[in-house]
Each structure stands twice: as C-alpha cells, then as structure tokens.
Amino acid sequence: MKEGKKLLTPQPRLRTGFFSVLESQMLTPSKINEACTSLGVVKYGKPIGLDEKIKVDIIVIGSVAVDPNTGARLGKGEGFAELEYGMLRSMGAIDDSTPVVTTVHDQQLVNDIPVEKLLIHDVAVDIICTPTQIRILQELKRRIEEESGQTLPSGPSEKLPPTAQRKR
C-alpha cells in the first residue's frame, strides 16, 4: 500500500460481499496501517462485484499444511479460498500465470499426504514462505549469530515447489 499498490481482500466467508479494494490514494499515510486490518477494510475499502475489470498480480492464500515438493496444500476445510480463486478466474482477474503464495511455519511443511487427495480440493501454491526460508530472515539470523557468538535455532533449508500446475 505504501508503494502505491492496490490491495484486494476477500470478505470473510463471502457474507458481506465478494472482495474489497484498498488503494493508497484513497487513504492518508496515517490510515494505511488501520486500513489493512479486517475492520479497516470494511471502513476504507471499495466493494467490488463480479463484473469489475481487475488484474491480480499475486495471490496470498492461507494454509494449514503444504507439501514443499508439489505445492499441494490443505486449507482450513471450509473451501472459501477455492471459491474466491474460482470466482477470480471466471472474472479473468487471474489465470495460470498468477503466482499463489502461502506463509506457514516450518512445522506446517509436510510430505506424507497423498497429492492426488490434496489437489482435488485445495488450490496449490507456487511459493512457500516460512520463517527460516525467507532469505532476508536468513541473513538477519546470520548477522545476529556473528554479533552474539551464539547459534540460533534452525529449521530445514530453503525449499520451493515447482510451479503448481493448474487445470482450467
């Protein structure tokens, strides 16, 4: 938002609408942080409908667990992320080239769930960010270890799945 990007946020469980758009020019700099909260989106966001002509550059989606080898993920089981993804696809706002990103803890990386079961129900991800796999955090960890002379706890090395294959 501070760099002039639009933020598209879904309405929780699609109860009050589809998505809302936040644009930095709609806000004073002091209101940006508030606007990025769930209550702030309601207060400052502009609701959009299915006929809106928009292009989404990247999607950030929640995950309970994700396979770093395939990008297959488990959502919370309610299916709203998949509904929103499908609606954005039908609007032409996203396509196969739109990257899907998730953020999880290292312990949420799994590789023992059958992929064919995951990909049936949940949108796959292209990029997985975890606390130990974000390069800037790795650099910060290295600097702290050098300065303090102590070794900080570590997780698995960086893993990114191949670009997830999406079906139309």
Instruction: List pLDDT tens digits, range 101-149.
Output: 999 998 999 987 777 777 677 888 998 988 877 666 677 778 888 999 9
What span, in angstroms and rounded, lies between the C-alpha atoms of 105 and 131?
6
> pTM here?
0.73
Q: Report the SS3 class of residue 132.
A: coil
pLDDT, tens digit (0-9, with 9 covering 90-100), for 46-94: 888 889 999 999 999 999 999 888 888 888 877 788 888 998 999 999 9
What span, in angstroms and rounded, lies between the C-alpha atoms of 98 and 126?
9
Please report, in angstroms and rounded to a whole number, the separation of the first and last CA atoms in the chain.
31
What span, in angstroms and rounded, lies between the C-alpha atoms of 50 and 132?
38
CA 67, 68, 71, 76 torsion: positive or negative? positive
Window from 7-11, 70-74, 86-90, 158-162 with minimum mean pLDDT? 158-162
Strands 46-48 and 73-74: unpaired
Q: Both tokens of residue 138?
A: 């790795």
What does the pLDDT read at residue 165?
A: 53
Q: Both tokens of residue 158?
A: 């960086």
133, burial (CB in 10 Å: exposed 0-12, middle 13-18, buried 19+): buried
Distances (CA, A) of 14 to 44, 70, 73, 127: 18, 29, 21, 25
What does the pLDDT read at residue 61?
A: 92
